[in-house]
Amino acid sequence: MNFTKICVLGLGYIGLPTASTFATHGIQVVGVDVNPNVLATLRRGEIHIHEPGLRETLEAALKTGNLTINETPREADAFIIAVPTPFHEDKYGDYNGKQYKLADMRAVTSAAESIVPVLRKGNLVVLESTSPPCTTLELLVPILEKSSLKAGIDFYLAYSPERVLPGQILRELIENARVIGGITPESAAVGRDLYAIFVKGKIITSDATTAEMVKLMENTYRDVNIAIANEFARLADRFGVDIWEAISIANLHPRVKILSPGPGVGGHCISVDPWFFVETAPDLSSLIYAARRVNDSQPNFVLELVKKAVGSLKGKNIAALGLAFKPDVDDIRESPAVEVIHLLQAEGANVKAFEPFKPNADLPGVTAVPSLAAALKDAAVVILLVNHTELRALTPEKLVTMTPARILVDTVNGWAGKDWKAAGFNIHSLGVNK
């Protein structure tokens, strides 16, 4: 099938790069978002998120005239839904006393509903948002069929997850392998035609539920592997071992690749997606559930580490370096760093946080200061929470001139290998008890 015009619903971390990339590949794209601030920012040619290369791609897309920004969908050959699927903050499921989080599918539901009036015979609809298994068949089909068109007969419908890594989205969007799961083989084939416009990686077709499951399996696999690394760090602490040394030796084994422990797992994907399995099949997901609990409780392990290093936190000035959920991105969603700060504050500490990628971060309950110097100047303790290149590059010689603090807590192994002692610092690293 040939596509001249498409509509992308949701202009966030995935929708915006996707819309811009289609536009720079000669497709007319209507980018739709419900947030008026996002629309206004994009219309000015500015971006509301930090992603290397995104501004340039957006500028190029707007310059071609192929990308227009709109409040509501317009008639098009294809519709791509790329809206968020977070979990409910205030609702939980329960399975034998084990609480689990529930997916909030309201954005997907309303995006699908907004397509109904403009859906025409022969159109393709693709859901990209990470979703619980069977969402395409059980949630989307009934909504889209309100148009009086039959899914799989009058219009094509597929699920195709994005699998790009924040920080490398524009490159991975093009180069990564992509799975297109159709509700019929024809839907998958038409979906393949759409993404073949810019995807250079392998495109694999399958059914919709397989594609949904593939996405959840990838992130769950990573979550479980990070959980074991975090549990190993706790064990190393118990047994007087340096976990980083132990991991580097274990990873010499040709079939072992242990990931890195840290302050926890954040972001809008890995800390969220495994719950979609737990929610839909709690009786079959005990390992997944346990891994989630380990990673979610890792900020408490960091708190204990800080308490061991400092003693009582009451009234202590702490500089918390990094708020993002991982290195070299500005994304603070579900960030374990923020969780650690809340725990420190609950113990009575005065925390000043600095996030180099978002110096003006405005977070409820967190005092974010605009510079490293402001965070450090009256600190008694400095905690490295995110392994940002800029923070990792700090040297003992530099830090000693910036802060009266002499206690350092490194939760990400970013300051290893430097002679902090010689500069008068006492350093405590997560997973290192040697």
Binding positions for ligand SAJ, rule: CB under 6 A: 130, 162-166, 218-219, 222, 226, 259-260, 262, 265-267, 269-270, 325-326
Cβ proximity of 69 and 43 under 8 Å: yes
State the nearest-atom distance from the C-beta of 34 to ligand SAJ, in Å. Answer: 21
- The helix-helix angle for 298-310 and 336-346 (nearest 10°) equals 50
Is 215 an active-site residue? yes
State the nearest-atom distance from the C-beta of 129 to ligand SAJ, in Å. Answer: 10
Q: Which is nearer to ligand SAJ, 54 or 118 (CB)?
A: 54
Q: Which is nearer to ligand SAJ, 130 or 160 (CB)?
A: 130
State the nearest-atom distance from the C-beta of 268 to ligand SAJ, in Å. Answer: 7
Q: Which is nearer to ligand SAJ, 77 or 162 (CB)?
A: 162
Number of helices (H), then strands (E), in the chain? 17, 15
Cβ proximity of 64 and 89 under 8 Å: no
Whole-number Å distance between alpha carbons of 297 and 304: 11
State the nearest-atom distance from the C-beta of 298 to ligand SAJ, in Å. Answer: 8
- The helix-helix angle for 208-239 and 298-310 (nearest 10°) equals 20
Chain residue at closest Cβ approach to ligand SAJ: 269
- 83 alpha-carbon distance from chain centroid: 13
Whole-number Å distance between alpha carbons of 313 and 347: 6
Tokens of 127: 């859901």
Is 269 an active-site residue? yes
Q: Which is nearer to ligand SAJ, 147 or 411 (CB)?
A: 411
Q: Which is nearer to ligand SAJ, 154 or 218 (CB)?
A: 218
* Cβ neighbour number for residue 419 with a 10 Å cutoff: 11
Which among 7, 91, 146, 215 is annotated as catalytic?
A: 215
407-410 and 381-384 beta bridge pairing: parallel
- 122 alpha-carbon distance from chain centroid: 34
State the nearest-atom distance from the C-beta of 322 to ligand SAJ, in Å. Answer: 10
State the nearest-atom distance from the C-beta of 265 to ligand SAJ, in Å. Answer: 4
- Which residues, in sequence order, are bridge partners of residue 156? 124
Q: Which is nearer to ligand SAJ, 129 or 147 (CB)?
A: 129
Whole-number Å distance between alpha carbons of 378 and 322: 17
The alpha carbon torsion through 105, 106, 107, 108 (nearest 10 deg) reads: 50
State the nearest-atom distance from the C-beta of 166 to ligand SAJ, in Å. Answer: 5
Tokens of 300: 């408490």
Tokens of 7: 């509509």
- Which residues, in sequence order, are bridge partners of residue 353? 320, 368
Q: Which is nearer to ligand SAJ, 156 or 357 (CB)?
A: 357
Tokens of 18: 């996707």
DSSP strand E in 96-235: where? 98-103, 124-127, 156-159, 178-182, 203-207
Cβ proximity of 385 and 325 under 8 Å: no
Which among 7, 150, 257, 269 is annotated as catalytic?
A: 269
- Residues marked as catalytic: 215, 269
